[in-house]
Amino acid sequence: MSRIGKSPIAIPAGVTVEVKDAVITVKGKLGELSQEFSDVSVKVEEGQVIVERSSDAKEQRSKHGLYRALINNMIVGVAEGFTKELELVGVGYRASNQGQKLDVALGFSHNIVLEVVSEVKVETVSEKGKNPIIKLSSYDKQLLGQVAAKIRSFRKPEPYKGKGVKFVGEVLRRKAGKSA
């Protein structure tokens, strides 16, 4: 039995969960998310969501913990939301935003302008003497990770000096460089 899959998910106050056919819909103060599911059954009982599987087939065992984790992320997202912070490490690297437009200078001949989807809120922090930080927040964990990965892909951190776009708190593997 999946350790993650068999534990029930508590529904916090202000969050409603509906299961209709093979689609689960979660509504909360921050937004609304829905997810299709297969090979498992989802029940809402006494303020809890329970994910069960009908057999021990490999396909059903693999999806048991997956759908439980996805549903938990949906419930936490609409209740509290998720945030990710990216740090720009390098001389002359800057970030600014006008609404949902993120303008990033990463040492190329031109600035990179990214139109961020409306579900993800963007905020940039630039303090003198510190690296610029891009703060992303959303109720959709998958979409948030996708946008953060896209921004990081513009210039990934290199292993010698660590210059590039990295997540705050991310530990980079560093190399020694050439020795004379």
DSSP conformation letters of 58-87: HHHHHHHHHHHHHHHHHHHHHHT-EEEEEE
Kindly give the parts of the chain with pLDDT less than 50: none
Fold match between 3-79 and 82-167?
Answer: yes
Q: What is the pTM of this model?
A: 0.89
Query: What are the residues whose beta carbons fall under 8 Å from the beta carbon of 147, sequence distance 6 or more?
Result: 116, 117, 120, 136, 138
Query: pLDDT tens digit string along 43-82?
Result: 999 899 999 988 888 888 889 999 999 999 999 999 999 9
Report the length, in residues, of the chain: 180
CATH no. of 82-167: 3.90.930.12
pLDDT at site 54: 86
Domain boundaries, the chain: 3-79, 82-167
pLDDT at site 1: 53
Number of Cβ within a 10 Å radius of residue 68: 24
Query: What are the residues whose beta carbons fall under 8 Å from the beta carbon of 5, sequence distance 6 or more?
Result: 51, 53, 64, 65, 67, 68
Q: 3-79: what CATH class?
A: alpha beta
Cα 50 to chain centroid distance, Å, stands at 24
